[in-house]
């Protein structure tokens, strides 16, 4: 482990303590398919979920929120308008915004919505799979071509591996710098960058993509962690908490010969039991 990697891990104890003490009011405009899991994940990590998207109350909600999470997983015209109102208010109140661009690159509506949000508002953190991140890179001119994702799932040709880790790290760093945001690309190996520091996180379990909403849950807890700390350290704690909870949930499932339904429950259980000692001792990170 390098000195810089050790310094990142040294911050985890204070960061997690701040997150739990802040109990960030996490305003989510999220995917209706996964809204219950998102709320429970926020509660488990130490945040306070607030699900609101009616235009009449959004300015009031954003004004008191510690963070705004935008998830484009199930778009409608009314929801898009609500996202714009919320982002405009969040920028006025200096409230951090976490964007989950679910399925960007697949349809023109998702492309247009994502690009509108990125171009017109200050986004604090973008969390998506690597296909979604590459689609954004193409939309803003950082990448010439990108693969089309399989619905909301990553394209198999984009999956981050040890062989393509450096190239993907360079791309994500360049994109983070261009957009002046923190980017978290999740997958078998996760990559986190603020345009200066780029970190690979090699934790997690291959059962995580087999439950609906694991990515939406992650984006929601990124919101709570960013709202309770800062974009880079908060995002690192969020991805480590999610990944290590996934590892522990898988071990419990295998021990009891259970399946994905039990895995989903254990995942939230272990998010709730997250502590800094476990995150530090069980993390597998590398600065690129």
pLDDT, mean of residues 229-236? 97
pLDDT of 3: 84
pLDDT, mean of residues 114-139? 95
Report which of 164, 165, 166, 174 is spatially closest to residue 138, judged by C-alpha positions.
Answer: 174
**Which positions ≥6 away from 4 have C-beta within 8 Å?**
197, 287
Task: Find where tokens 């439950």 sit.
Answer: 211
pLDDT of 148: 53
Q: Residue 281 above 80 pLDDT?
A: yes
Q: What is the pLDDT of residues 37-47, one digit of tens each?
A: 999 999 999 99
pLDDT of 137: 94
pLDDT, mean of residues 125-142? 94
pLDDT, mean of residues 229-234? 96
For 152-192, give the secondary structure using H, E and C.
CECCHHHCCCCCCHHHHHHHHHHHHHHHCCEEEEECCCEEE
In DSSP terms, which residues pair with 49 in a beta bridge? Answer: 26
pLDDT, mean of residues 25-49? 94
Residue with more model confidence, 105 or 157: 105
Confidence band, pLDDT 50/70/90 cuts, at residue 272: very high
pLDDT of 133: 95
Confidence band, pLDDT 50/70/90 cuts, at residue 13: very high
pLDDT of 146: 60
Confidence band, pLDDT 50/70/90 cuts, at residue 153: low
| Rg, C-alpha atoms of the chain | 17
Q: What is the pLDDT of residues 78-90, one digit of tens each?
A: 999 999 999 999 9
Q: Residue 67 above 60 pLDDT?
A: yes
Task: For residues 79 and 90, give the distance between their C-alpha atoms in angstroms, rounded to a whole number.
Answer: 16
């Amino acid at each position: 482990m390098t000195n810089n990697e050790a310094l990142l891990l040294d911050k985890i104890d204070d960061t997690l303590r701040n997150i739990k003490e802040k109990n960030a009011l996490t305003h989510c405009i999220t995917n209706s398919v996964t809204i219950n899991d998102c709320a429970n994940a926020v509660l488990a990590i130490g945040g306070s979920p607030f699900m609101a998207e009616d235009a009449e109350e959004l300015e009031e909600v954003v004004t008191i929120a510690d963070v705004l999470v935008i998830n484009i997983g199930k778009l409608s015209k009314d929801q898009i308008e609500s996202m714009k109102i919320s982002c405009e208010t969040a920028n006025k109140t200096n409230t951090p915004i976490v964007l989950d661009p679910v399925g960007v690159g697949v349809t023109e509506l998702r492309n247009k919505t994502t690009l509108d949000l990125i171009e017109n508002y200050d986004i604090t953190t973008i969390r998506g799979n690597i296909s979604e991140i590459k689609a954004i890179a193409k939309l803003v001119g950082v990448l010439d071509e990108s693969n089309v994702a399989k619905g909301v799932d990553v394209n198999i040709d984009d999956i981050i591996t040890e062989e393509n880790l450096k190239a993907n790290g360079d791309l994500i760093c360049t994109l983070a710098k261009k957009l002046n945001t923190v980017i978290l690309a999740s997958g078998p190996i996760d990559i986190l960058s603020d345009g200066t520091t780029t970190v690979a996180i090699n934790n997690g379990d291959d059962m995580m993509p087999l439950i609906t909403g694991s990515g939406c849950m992650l984006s929601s807890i990124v919101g709570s962690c960013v709202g309770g700390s800062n974009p880079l350290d908060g995002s690192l704690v969020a991805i480590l908490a999610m990944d290590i909870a996934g590892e522990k949930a898988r071990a419990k499932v295998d021990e009891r010969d259970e399946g994905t339904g039990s895995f989903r429950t254990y995942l939230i259980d272990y998010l709730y039991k997250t502590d800094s000692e476990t995150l530090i001792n069980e993390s597998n990170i590398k600065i690129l």
